[in-house]
A and B are shown apart, each in its own frame.
Chain A
C-alpha cells in the first residue's frame, strides 16, 4: 500500500549563498538571501510563502526572525532544532503541513557566518552536567570515541577513514562551489595530517565555513507547474536515541538503522533503487557508520566498503557528490546542503559531478553527537 504522503509534496526551489567565506554578512542575511534565491529558482513570489521552517546555532526564535526579515506572515511555522539534521525534519514536517492544507508554500532555510565571525564551530549546546566537567572538545571527541569503538569491534582502519575524506575531496574537485575545490588530497595527506583527537587527524574533520541555504516545497499538484523539475518527497523518517555521546546505546550503531528502513518503507523502495547517497559527513567515520546503518553494506563492513575509491567519482556508489561537509561546506549545521545537492542532481544540474541517470536520492541528516538521524528519499517524476 502506498504511504499517504509519498510523492504528495516536492522541493521546487533550492539555493545556497555565501558558501565558504562571506565576510561582512550576518547569519540572518545569508539565510534570507538564500531564501530569496530559492524562491526565484522555484518561480514563486515571496508573498506566497505561508510556511516558514528554520534552525540556526545563533537564533533563539529563527522562524520569527526569518518571517520578520522577509516580511512574510506565515500561518504555519516550525523551528525544530535537532542539530544539523533539523532541515530533514523540517522537510518531513513541511510535507505533513502542506498535505494537510495548513500551508501552501513552505520555505526551509538556514544561515551561518561562523567562519568569519569566530573562526570556529559555534557551539549550539548548553553544558551537559555529566560530560562538560571532563572538558570534551565537542562535537569532535564524540565522533572520535565512536570511531575508536568501530576500529576495536570491526578492525576499521585509519586508512579506510582517510578514503572517505579523499573521496569527498575528489567530488569537491568537480564542484566549483566547494570550499576545497582545486586542492587534491591523498590518503597519505590525511594520515600525515596533525592528529587532533585519536583516531582523527585534522583532515578527518569537517570544514568550518560560512554559508546560507534554503529550499521551497509545495504540493505535487502545484509542483509540476513550477519553474524547475520537482524533486518529490517519497519518504522520510527520523529516529533519536540519545543526546550525549556517553549515553549512546551502542557507539557503532546509529539511529538511522531505524530511520533508514522507515524512510525506505514509506517510499516503497530499497537500497538498489538509490542513485545518489547524501550522508552528513561531519567526520570521516560518519560516512562509514551511515552506509552500514542504511543497509548499503553489512554492519562492520563500512571501512572495507569505502576502500579503493568505491564512493569516489567513477566508483560503484555516488556518495556526497558536492564534496560533503568534509570538502564542500560546513557552516555548523550542514543538513540543508544535503537537500540542495540532492535536488540539483535529480534535476541534472550538477555539472561535471552529475550522476548519470539520477532518479532517486537518499539523504541522511545527522544532528548532535550522532544523536538525531533523519533519512529522506527524493525522486524525479519518473519515481511517482
Chain B
C-alpha cells in the first residue's frame, strides 16, 4: 500500500510548507539526494531519510533571462551536500551572478507555492575566505 503521506515529492513540498528545506540521505551510503526520489539514483538504495539541508551552496552555472520586463537570473546551484538544483540567485543584479559564488537558500512563495531561492553570501571585508 502506498504511503498515505504521499510520495517523496509531496513529502518534500509538505516540509517546504512548514518552512523546512529538507533533502534525502541514504542511511547506508551517506549519499545525499536531490530532487527527492524513491531510491538513490544509480545505485538504488531505498534507505532514504529526510535531513535538513545546510542551505548553503555554490553557483555551478548561471544565465540571465533578458526580457522587456527586466533581467532575471536562472542558475544551477551545487548544494554543499553534493546534489545540484535549479534555482534563482536574488539580491544582486542578475547579470552579476558568477559561477563559484557562495549562496544561501531561503524559502519564498511564488504562484501560491513554496519555492527555494538563493541569495549571494557577501563576505565581510577582512573576514577571510
Give the interface of A toward B (CB within 8 A).
Answer: 129-131, 133-137, 141, 144-146, 148-149, 152, 194-200, 244-247, 251
B25 at the interface (CB under 8 A from A): no
Q: Are A136 and B62 in contact (CB under 8 A)?
A: no
**Docked complex Cα distance between A68 and B35 (Å):** 41
Chain B residues with CB under 8 A of A135: 72
Q: Contact check, A198 vs B88: say whether CB atoms are below 8 A apart.
A: no
Q: Which residues on A sit within 8 Å (CB–CB) of B39?
A: none
B63:A198 contact, CB within 8 angstroms: yes
Q: Quick one: given A129-B9, A245-B76, are A136 and B64 in contact (CB under 8 Å)?
A: no
Q: Which residue of A lies closest to B42 (CB)?
A: A249
Interface residues of B in 58-84 (CB under 8 A from A): 60-66, 72, 74-76, 84
Shortest distance between the CB of A368 and any CB in chain B (Å): 15
Docked Cα-Cα span, A247 to B86, in Å, equals: 9
Bound CA–CA A131/B84 (angstroms): 12
Q: Are B99 and A149 in contact (CB under 8 A)?
A: yes
A130 to B60, CA, bound (A): 17
Q: Which A residues are in CB contact (< 8 Å) with B87?
A: 134
Check B86–A246 contact: CB distance below 8 A. yes
Cα of A149 to Cα of B75 in the assembled complex, Å: 11
Q: Are A251 and B76 in contact (CB under 8 A)?
A: yes
> Which residue of chain A has the shortest Cβ distance to B84 in the bound complex?
A246
Stretch in contact with the other chain, from B45-53, B110-118, B119-127: B110-118
13 further contact pairs, Cβ within 8 A, besides A133-B113, A134-B87, A145-B75: A131-B86, A135-B72, A146-B61, A148-B61, A148-B62, A149-B60, A152-B61, A152-B99, A194-B66, A197-B66, A198-B95, A247-B35, A251-B76
Report which of A133, A145, A197 forms a contact with B76, defined as CB distance below 8 A: A145
Q: How far is the CA of A199 from the CA of B97 in the complex (A)?
A: 13
Helix, strand, loop or mixed for chain B's interface? strand
Residues of A within 8 A of B75 (CB): 145
A149 touches B61 (CB 8 A): yes
B111 and A133 within 8 A (CB) = yes
Give Cα A131–Cα B9 distance, bound, in whole angstroms: 13
CB neighbours (8 Å) of B115 from chain A are: 133-134
Q: Confirm or deny: B85 has a beta carbon within 8 angstroms of a beta carbon on chain A.
A: yes
Residues of A near B113 (CB, < 8 A) are 133
B9, B35, B86, B100: the one within 8 Å of A136 (CB):
B86
On B, residues with C-beta under 8 Å from A are: 9, 35, 60-66, 72, 74-76, 84-88, 95, 99-100, 110-111, 113, 115
Query: Measured between C-beta atoms, what is the minimum distance from A32 to chain B in Å?
Result: 38
Cα distance A133–B61 in the bound complex, in angstroms = 18
What residues on A are CB-neighbors of B74 within 8 Å?
A: 134, 136, 141, 145
10 CB < 8 A contacts A-B: A131-B86, A134-B88, A137-B65, A141-B74, A145-B75, A146-B61, A148-B63, A194-B66, A197-B63, A251-B61
Asked whether B9 lies within 8 Å of A144 as measured between CB atoms, the reply is: no
Select B85's contact among A130, A195, A200, beta carbons within 8 Å.
A130
Question: With a CB–CB cut-off of 8 A, which chain B residues contact A152?
Answer: 61, 99-100
B115 nearest CB neighbor, chain A only: A133
Q: What is the distance, in angstroms, from A252's C-beta to the closest C-beta of chain B?
A: 10
Most chain A CB within a 10 A radius of its CB, from B76, B86, B99, B115: B86
Q: How far is the CB of A272 from chain B (nearest CB, A)?
A: 33
Of B61, B64, B85, B113, most buried by chain A (CB within 10 Å of CB) is B61
Q: Given A141-B74, A245-B76, A247-B84, A130–B65 Cβ distance below 8 Å? A: no
Q: Which 7 A-B pairs have the closest CB atoms?
A: A246-B86, A144-B63, A145-B61, A130-B35, A198-B64, A152-B99, A149-B61
The residues of A that contact B84 with a CB separation of less than 8 Å are: 246-247
In Å, the complex CA distance between A129 and B72 comes to 20
Distance in angstroms from B37 CB to nearest chain A CB is 11
A131 to chain B: which residues have CB within 8 Å?
A: 86
| Beta-carbon nearest neighbor of B85 in chain A | A246
CA distance A244 to B35 in the complex (A): 11
- Residues from chain A with a CB closer than 8 A to the CB of B62 are 145, 148, 198
Q: How far is the CA of A129 from the CA of B115 in the complex (A)?
A: 11
Q: Collect the chain B residues with CB atoms within 8 Å of residue A129's CB.
A: 9, 35
Q: Which of A133, A141, A144, A146 has most B Cβ within 10 Å?
A: A133
Q: Which of A137, A200, A245 is B86 in contact with, Cβ under 8 Å?
A: A245
Provide the residues of chain A in CB contact with B9, threshold 8 Å: 129
